[in-house]
């Protein structure tokens, strides 16, 4: 069975079904098609399917011109019809894994996708989970559910692997195919099959001993970033109290050629990975009677940053004899990171909500986010900047003319904790 699977992959006779056509699934589906495989992109959201087929991905970093050639050629089919995904050679699950209100893993999307695969799969196929989750999900939860739904046995009748997504939207260097791919299987044969499939697509595959280890790799990567971002955010507050430029400190410390990796302060955490994924591990730790103090503390520090930014903005307005109630605040950048359209968990959204609760009149400009709820991005002009009581810099976009902002703004509050002395001649409040 294993040799037959590997032979089909090598000869390009493999049909891969990618479930979930979002930030991870759609670029991955295109990568499989680019590698010469037949791909079916499946999503339960019919509107998304229609938009994708029309070349409207909804992803600013991955537009239609990057995948539509494969749709036109027929190597990538996009559907919400279950009948079209029956009997595929491989199923790759790329669906969201949020937290519920109690900060516990919400695996409903994963379980729904697993059920779909379970009634569609056949003997000899491979199933891969890419959604971020806690160690043990694939080997304990997904395996049992797949076996029950399909009446097949993992390792004997089909292959099961976990391979964490490592997407970095907007990164100009690292795309789906040149990011090393970590893979773990529930058996050695499963790992071998996973390495064969992804080895055809990725420039480098990194095998690990188990699916549990692969799941831990993904969460450890995100915990590492969350903890270090929390550290530099706490340093930002301390440096402000001491009258020190934290960015100068980070830049100088980064000159050390060993033992230090620079992280930079900001208004909080955004996106799916860093704000959410570490809590999958802290939840898992509680199940075995352990506490993850670094994760919990990092979460508290990073979650407090939007409130700190709002407090600094209020202090700045007070110093200028202005009240927050009724103040006009122009927010620059609402995406969670530079030069993307993703506002998931964006600290800018939290800051806007807090400012509105205090009675501020908010408008925003973001070249990548034309709409935010019932708000629309406004055109950034000298008159718009000059009319604001406060300009709040949140996300740094290359398309924003900060020189013009500096020239016309009455007051600038920098939510990234950075002194713009090289750009700004007027007053800037570090936040």
Give the whole-angstrom CA distance, residue 329 versus residue 308: 16
Helix axes 347-357, 293-319, angle to 10 degrees: 50
Q: What is the pLDDT of residue 428?
A: 64
Token pair, residue 282, equals 């802290």
Q: Note whether 161 and 273 are same-domain residues.
A: no
CA distances from 77 to 37, 66, 84, 176 (A): 12, 15, 9, 19
Q: Are 141 and 123 in contact (CB under 8 A)?
A: no
Work out how many domains the chain is built from and give that number.
Answer: 2
Q: Is 290 exposed, middle or buried (0-12, 13-18, 19+ CB in 10 A)?
A: exposed
The b-or-e profile of 368-377 (16+ CB within 10 A means b, else e) is bbeebeeeeb
Give the whole-angstrom CA distance, residue 427 versus residue 409: 9
Q: Note whether 399 and 259 are same-domain residues.
A: yes
Give the whole-angstrom CA distance, residue 143 versus residue 153: 9
Nearest-CA neighbor of 280 among 69, 407, 98, 50? Answer: 98
Q: What is the pLDDT of residue 417?
A: 63
Is position 228 within any domain?
no
Domain final residue pick, 187, 209, 231 = 209
Q: Note whether 291 and 197 are same-domain residues.
A: no
Q: Is the dihedral of CA 122, 128, 132, 135 positive or negative?
A: positive
Q: What is the pLDDT of residue 430?
A: 62
Q: Note whether 198 and 273 are same-domain residues.
A: no
Q: Note whether 282 and 344 are same-domain residues.
A: yes
Is position 290 within any domain?
yes
Q: Note whether 126 and 53 are same-domain residues.
A: yes
Is position 227 within any domain?
no
CA distances from 20 to 43, 115, 196 (A): 5, 14, 22
Q: Note whether 51 and 190 are same-domain residues.
A: yes
Pairing of strands 375-376, 371-372: antiparallel
Q: What is the pLDDT of residue 424?
A: 44
- What is the number of helices (H) and of strands (E) in the chain? 14, 15
Helix axes 143-150, 108-120, angle to 10 degrees: 30
Q: Note whether 339 and 391 are same-domain residues.
A: yes
Catalytic residue among 94, 190, 273, 390: 273
Does 205 qualify as catalytic in the annotation?
no
Structural domain boundaries, residue 19: 2-209
Is position 238 within any domain?
no
Q: How many residues does the chain have?
A: 431
Q: Note whether 17 and 86 are same-domain residues.
A: yes
Q: Note whether 200 and 277 are same-domain residues.
A: no
Cβ count within 10 A of residue 174: 12
Give the whole-angstrom CA distance, residue 378 versus residue 370: 8
Q: What is the pLDDT of residue 415?
A: 87
Q: Is 291 helix (H, G, I), strand (E, B) or coil?
A: coil
End-to-end CA distance of the chain: 59
Q: What is the pLDDT of residue 59?
A: 84
pLDDT in tens, the chain (431 residues): 999 999 999 999 999 999 999 999 999 999 999 999 999 999 999 999 999 999 999 887 788 999 999 999 999 999 999 999 999 999 999 999 998 888 889 999 999 999 999 999 999 999 999 999 999 999 999 999 999 999 999 999 999 999 999 988 878 899 999 999 999 999 999 999 999 999 999 999 999 999 999 999 999 999 999 999 999 999 999 998 998 888 889 999 999 999 999 999 989 988 878 888 888 999 999 999 999 999 999 999 999 999 999 999 999 999 989 999 999 999 999 999 888 888 999 999 999 999 999 999 999 999 999 999 999 999 999 999 999 999 999 988 888 888 888 889 989 998 876 655 444 444 566 66
Is position 240 within any domain?
no
CA distances from 285 to 157, 168, 301, 360 (A): 32, 27, 20, 41
Q: Note whether 198 and 286 are same-domain residues.
A: no
Q: What is the pLDDT of residue 257?
A: 95
Domain final residue pick, 148, 182, 209 = 209
Q: Note whether 263 and 126 are same-domain residues.
A: no
Is position 221 within any domain?
no
Query: For every residue of 230-249, which 3-state class applies, written as one string?
Result: HHHHHHHHHHHHHCCCHHHH
CA atoms within 13 A on the CB side of 119: 8
Q: Are 226 and 298 in contact (CB under 8 A)?
A: yes
Q: Are 39 and 75 in contact (CB under 8 A)?
A: yes
Give the whole-angstrom CA distance, residue 260 versus residue 255: 9
Q: Are 263 and 231 in contact (CB under 8 A)?
A: yes
Is position 164 within any domain?
yes
Is position 230 within any domain?
no
CATH code for the domain of 42: 3.40.50.720
């Amino acid at each position: 069975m294993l040799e037959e699977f590997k032979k089909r992959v090598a000869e390009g006779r493999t049909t891969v079904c990618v479930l979930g056509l979002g930030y991870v699934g759609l670029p991955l589906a295109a990568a499989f098609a680019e590698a010469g495989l037949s791909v079916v992109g499946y999503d339960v959201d019919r509107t998304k399917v229609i938009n994708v087929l029309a070349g409207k991905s909804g992803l600013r970093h991955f537009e239609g011109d990057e995948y539509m050639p494969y749709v036109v050629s027929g190597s990538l089919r996009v559907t919400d019809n279950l009948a079209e995904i029956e009997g595929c050679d491989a199923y790759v699950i790329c669906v969201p894994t949020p937290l519920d209100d109690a900060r516990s893993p919400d695996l409903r999307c994963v379980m729904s996708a697993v059920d779909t695969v379970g009634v569609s799969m056949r003997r000899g196929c491979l199933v891969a989970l890419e959604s971020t989750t806690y160690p043990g999900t694939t080997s304990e939860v997904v395996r049992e559910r797949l076996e029950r739904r399909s009446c097949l046995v993992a390792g004997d009748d089909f292959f099961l692997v976990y391979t964490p997504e490592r997407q970095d939207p907007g990164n100009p260097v690292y795309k789906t195919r040149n990011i090393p791919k970590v893979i773990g299987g529930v058996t050695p044969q499963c790992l071998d099959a996973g390495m064969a499939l992804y080895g055809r697509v990725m420039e480098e595959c990194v095998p690990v001993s188990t699916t549990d280890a692969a799941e831990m790799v993904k969460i450890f990567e995100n915990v590492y970033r969350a903890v270090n971002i929390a550290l530099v955010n706490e340093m930002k507050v301390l440096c402000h109290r001491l009258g020190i430029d934290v960015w100068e400190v980070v830049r100088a410390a980064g000159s050390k050629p060993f033992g230090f990796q620079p992280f930079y302060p900001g208004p909080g955490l955004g996106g799916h990975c860093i704000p959410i994924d570490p809590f999958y591990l802290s939840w898992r730790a509680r199940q075995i009677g352990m506490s993850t103090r670094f994760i919990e503390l990092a979460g508290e520090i990073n979650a407090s940053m939007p409130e700190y930014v709002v407090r600094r903005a209020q202090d700045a307005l007070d110093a200028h004899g202005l009240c927050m109630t009724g103040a006009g605040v122009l927010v620059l950048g609402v995406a969670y990171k530079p030069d993307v359209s993703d506002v998931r968990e964006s600290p800018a959204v939290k800051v806007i909500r807090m400012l509105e609760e205090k009675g501020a009149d908010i408008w925003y400009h973001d070249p990548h986010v034309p709409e935010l709820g019932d708000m629309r991005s406004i055109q950034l002009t000298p008159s718009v900047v000059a009319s604001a009581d406060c300009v709040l810099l949140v996300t740094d976009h290359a398309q924003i003319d900060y020189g013009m902002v500096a020239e016309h703004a009455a007051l600038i509050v920098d939510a990234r904790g950075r002194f713009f002395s090289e750009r700004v001649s007027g007053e800037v409040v570090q936040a």
